[in-house]
């Protein structure tokens, strides 16, 4: 229907997470219609990011600077390190604005199925950060999935010989959540970790 060049662009956009064939077509039509105000600036923004993109050598965050914005920020507590699986998790925590420490991005989770081994993740770099000193607490903030929790256990084991305090995010009833709709695993965790009122 459209030209091969436009079809190719549509297919590439359709493969991005969060987009499908339909939204990709709508996005492409918008780009074609607003060439000067949308398409050209988008190309420039992509080129800008691509040119300057780097990974923070301290924490593994993606940024256009190294060290990244979080690691450069003097107001952050460098003795508190939150360990996450992916950059997306770091962004989610940053959006909440609740955490004032720094991060360590592992770059994935241990997975026998996907062939991800400990040496594929940033676990040794975390261990050497701890060995350098200055860190008092490591917060394990992996996903509450089987693989995420396996990874958390592995990291905790790896750091067991150090004196650093290791904690993990609390499991329980999400705020606003109804008991009736909760899975049994969450209910069991919430019951086990019950607190005095």
Among 79, 91, 114, 146, binds a copy of itself (CB under 8 A): 91
Closest CA to 84 of 62, 66, 54: 62
In degrees and rounded to multiples of 5, residue 55 shows phi and psi of: -105, 135
Among 57, 69, 187, 193, binds a copy of itself (CB under 8 A): 69
Give yes or no for a contact between 24 and 10, defined as CB atoms under 8 angstroms apart. Answer: yes
Q: Is residue 135 part of the contact set for a copy of itself (CB under 8 A)?
A: no
| Residues pairing with 140 in the sheet | 83, 168
Among 46, 187, 188, 193, binds a copy of itself (CB under 8 A): 46
Q: Is residue 65 part of the contact set for a copy of itself (CB under 8 A)?
A: yes
Q: Is residue 16 part of the contact set for a copy of itself (CB under 8 A)?
A: yes
Among 76, 86, 120, 158, binds a copy of itself (CB under 8 A): 86
Residue 154 to residues 54, 58, 67, 89, 122: CA-CA distances in angstroms?
Answer: 28, 21, 27, 19, 12
Among 23, 57, 79, 167, binds a copy of itself (CB under 8 A): 23
Find the shortest distance in angstroms from Cβ 76 to a copy of itself.
12
Residue 161 to residues 54, 63, 122, 130: CA-CA distances in angstroms?
Answer: 32, 32, 18, 11
Per the structure block, which two tokens stand in for 170? 């609390």
Interface ranges with a copy of itself (CB under 8 A): 1-6, 8-9, 12-13, 15-19, 22-27, 29-33, 35, 38-43, 45-50, 52-53, 62-65, 68-70, 86-88, 91, 94-95
């Amino acid at each position: 229907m459209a030209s091969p060049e436009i079809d190719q662009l549509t297919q590439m956009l359709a493969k991005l997470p969060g987009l499908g064939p339909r939204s990709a077509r709508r996005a492409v039509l918008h780009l074609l219609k607003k060439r000067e105000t949308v398409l050209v600036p988008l190309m420039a923004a992509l080129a800008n990011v691509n040119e300057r993109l780097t990974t923070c050598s301290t924490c593994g965050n993606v940024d256009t600077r190294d060290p990244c914005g979080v690691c450069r920020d003097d107001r952050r507590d460098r003795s508190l390190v939150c360990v996450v699986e992916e950059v997306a998790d770091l962004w989610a925590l940053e959006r909440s604005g609740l955490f004032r420490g720094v991060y360590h991005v592992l770059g994935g989770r241990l997975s026998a199925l996907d062939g991800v081994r400990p040496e594929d993740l940033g676990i040794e770099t975390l261990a050497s950060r701890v060995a350098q000193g200055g860190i008092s607490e490591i917060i394990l903030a992996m996903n509450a999935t089987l693989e995420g929790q396996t990874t958390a256990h592995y990291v905790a084991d790896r750091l067991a010989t150090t004196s650093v305090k290791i904690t993990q995010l609390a499991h329980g009833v999400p705020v606003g959540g109804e008991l009736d709709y909760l899975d049994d695993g969450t209910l069991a965790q919430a019951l086990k970790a019950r607190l005095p009122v």
